Amino acid sequence: MGKLTDRLNLFRVIAGFALLIALVSCARTRDELDLSIYQYRDTRNLVRFAYDAAARVEEDGLEAIRHFRENREFYNREDYYLYIYKLNGENVFHAGMPELEGKNLYEVTDIKGKKITQLVLRALENKQNPHAWVHYSWWEPGKFYPVAKSSCHFKVKTPGGMELFVGAGMDCPHEEREFIRIIVDSAVDLIDREGEDAFEEIAEPGSAFVYRDVKVFVFDSEGGTIISPVIYNSPAEINFIESYDDAGHQPFKRALEEFRTRDSSWQVFMAKSRDKRSLVKKSLYLRKTRLNGKAIYVGAITNLPQPPWTD
């Protein structure tokens, strides 16, 4: 019995390597995948995973989906799993939750009211979001409570002409600087197209511009609040330019000095952490644009990787 178990385990390992080789060979037929924009290995692995599966679907069509179903355990990993949808919101394949297959999730919302599938479809058309990232709350297979999730997606067309999107998501993800770059640049594009009408969508908690502890904010050239970084429809005023961090630095004032020669700025500042006794580093990304002939500034803040001695 022990020898039989050993043989089965060996077979699973060999099959896993064969699947990996097959996926990689498919991925080489697509455009080069730029992963240099990410700070974390987990994020890079997730994007490769979804990208390679998308390449296989694009090449083999429905035969690839049959293959995924027959080898479901290889696409339901500890940290992430594969899923595939039609553009109308119908789930075609779900490695982690097969009970969703055949169901339409176009209107499904998370705990904060985010319409997840609709956010994915918008992300797929967003030139600022090349890997179609969305951020929301979901639950892990076999568990009952929601966790923070970030997912990337690729739109594909099968040889038979069916349009699908292939995605994979990571529970409790690292906060990548690229995530705030995407939402800030997307907010600037929206303001440039729609003017002040864009502000309501940017501030809306269920939009792509608000997730976890991240929120796009906007202020004017005097530092006055247009969209608060803290509260939806906030009556409170913050003077961004004169504000200090917890180490006495003025990151917004430094950014405005850089805007004399450029339209974007990355700043690092220090902030208190609810999880650590010491100060931690935060990253601020800020863009300058114009509205009604006047300069305004659009930004967001996220965590930076912390050195191990702060744990």
Question: Please, are residues 300 and 183 in contact by the beta-carbon 8 Å criterion?
Answer: yes
* pLDDT per position as a tens digit, 113-146: 999 999 999 999 999 999 999 999 998 877 888 8
Q: Answer yes or no: is pLDDT of 206 > 90.
A: yes
DSSP for 86-107, written as a single string: ETTSBEEEESS-GGGTT-B-TT
* pLDDT per position as a tens digit, 7-42: 444 444 444 444 444 444 444 344 579 999 999 999
Tokens matching residue 202: 């940017």
Q: Answer yes or no: is pLDDT of 54 > 70.
A: yes
Query: Once rounded to an integer, what is the mean pLDDT over residues 91-111?
Result: 96
How many residues appear in the chain? 311
**What domains are there in the chain, each with its CATH number?**
2-171 (3.30.450.20), 177-310 (3.30.450.20)
The pair phi, psi for residue 80, each rounded to 5°, is: -165, 165
The pTM of this model reads 0.87
Exposure letters 74-102 (e unless 16+ CB within 10 A, then b): bbbeeebbbbbbeeebbbbbbbbbeebee
Q: What is the pLDDT of residue 254?
A: 97
For residue 194, the SS3 value is helix
Nearest-CA neighbor of 30 among 16, 48, 17?
48
* pLDDT per position as a tens digit, 228-286: 998 766 666 789 999 999 999 999 999 999 999 999 999 999 998 877 678 999 999 99
Question: Please, are residues 300 and 293 in contact by the beta-carbon 8 Å criterion?
Answer: no
User: Which of the 8 DSSP states describes residue 215?
Assistant: E
